[in-house]
Amino acid sequence: MSVTPSTTGTVRAVFLDVDGTYADYGVVPEGHVRAVRAARKAGHRVFLCTGRPVSMLPKSILAAGFDGLVASAGAYAEVGGTVLLDRLFPADLAARTVRALDAHDAVYVLEAQEALYAPPAAMQRLQVILDAHFEQSPEGPVGSSDIMRAVRPTSDLAAVPFAKVSVFDSPVAMEHLVGEIGGAIAVVANSVADDGRHAGELYQHGISKADGVAAVIAHLGIAREDTVAIGDGANDLEMIAYAGVGVAIEGSLPELVALADRTAAPPREEGLVAAFAELGLI
In eight-state DSSP terms, residue 178 is H
For residues 22 and 153, give the distance between their C-alpha atoms in angstroms, rounded to a whole number.
29
| Number of separate domains in the chain | 2
Q: How buried is residue 148: exposed, middle or buried, by Cβ count under 10 Å (0-12/13-18/19+)? A: middle
Look at 87-96, 182-191, 214-223 and tell me which has the smallest mean pLDDT: 182-191
Q: What is the pTM of this model?
A: 0.92
Task: Among 157, 173, 204, identify where a domain stops.
Answer: 204
Task: Quote the domain boundaries for residue 157.
Answer: 91-204
* Largest CA-CA distance found in the chain, in angstroms, rounded: 58
Same domain for 127 and 106: yes
101: domain CATH number?
Answer: 3.30.1240.10
39: domain CATH number?
Answer: 3.40.50.1000
127-146 mean pLDDT: 78
> Contact 54/170 with Cβ under 8 angstroms?
no
Q: What is the pLDDT of residue 146?
A: 82
pLDDT tens per residue, range 8-64:
579 999 999 999 999 998 899 999 999 999 999 999 999 999 999 999 999 999 999
Q: What is the pLDDT of residue 137?
A: 72
Strands 245-249 and 227-231: parallel
Kindly tell me if the per-residue pLDDT of 83 is higher than 90.
Answer: yes
Task: Among 204, 239, 259, identify where a domain stops.
Answer: 204
Higher pLDDT, 104 or 4: 104
Residue 156 domain-assigned (yes or no): yes
Kindly tell me if the per-residue pLDDT of 213 is higher than 90.
Answer: yes
118-136 mean pLDDT: 90
Residue 99 domain-assigned (yes or no): yes
Same domain for 174 and 235: no
Q: What is the pLDDT of residue 144?
A: 83
